[in-house]
Amino acid sequence: MSNVLSEEKKQQVIALGKLGWPLRRIEQVTGVRRETASAYLKSAGVVVCLPGWGRRAPAKPAIGVTTDPDPSKPANEVTNDPSEAKPAIGVTTDFGQPISPPTAQQDRATSACEPYRALIEQGLGRGRNAMAIWQDLVSDHGFPHGYETVKRFVRKLRGSPFVWSQVLGSRQVGHQLPC
C-alpha cells in the first residue's frame, strides 16, 4: 500500500475543496483523512478554513445615517429660579413602624424544627445523621422546610462540631467498622 493518494483521489479532494466543502465532509465522502486532504489543498493553493475560525459574517452597514440640523438639547433643563421648579408628585415621610433592635426575650427566632425536637433527638439517639432525620421528617411528618434547616438545628443540639468518638463509640482506632 502506498503513502501517496492516487491522482484521481487527489483531484477529487482538490475539486471538493474548491467548492468550499469542509474537511470533515471531504473525509466522509472520499475516505481521505482531514489532515491529508488539508495538506493536498494547501499545496494546490486552496484556502482551508478550520471549523469555527473566522466564519463570522461581515458586519452589515447602517441602513441610513441621519444628522440632526438642530443643536443638541440637554436631557434635563437646569434652572436656578425657584418659581420655575416643578413640585414633587408625592412625598412619603412615614415608612411604617420603626425597626427596633431585638430584646432579650426575642433573642433569636425560634427554629422551624422546634416542634419536631423530640423526633430529632430520638433520631440522633439512634445514631441517624441530619440527612436521614430530615428525610424521615419530610416523608413521615410533612416537614415543609429544607435539609439545611435540620442540619443547623442538629448542630445546635449537638453543641459541638462533629466528633469521631460519637461515631466510633467504644471501638478503638484501627478496628474495622461493619458495613
Q: Where are the domains of the chain?
A: 1-53, 114-163
**Pair 30, 9: CB distance under 8 Å:** yes
The pTM assigned to this predicted structure is 0.32
Computed over every residue of the chain, the mean pLDDT equals 76
In single-letter form, the type of residue at position 5 comes to L
From 159, 157, 149, 164, select the one nearest 112 (Cα to Cα).
149
d(CA 130, CA 150): 6
Residue range 70-127, pLDDT digits in tens: 666 666 666 677 667 666 666 555 555 555 555 545 445 788 899 999 999 999 989 9
Residue 132 confidence (pLDDT): 92
Burial of 153 (0-12, 13-18, 19+ CB in 10 A): buried
- How far is it, in rounded angstroms, from Cα 65 to Cα 113? 66
Counting other chains too, the contacts that 154-163 makes at CB distance below 8 Å and 24 or more residues apart are: 154/120, 154/124, 154/130, 156/111, 157/117, 157/120, 157/121, 157/124, 158/124
**Mean pLDDT in residue range 56-60:** 70
For residue 140, what is the DSSP state? H
Q: How far is CA 97 from CA 1, 100, 177, in A?
A: 92, 9, 59
CA angle 47, 52, 57 (to 5 degrees): 80
- Per-residue pLDDT, averaged over 132-156, amounts to 91
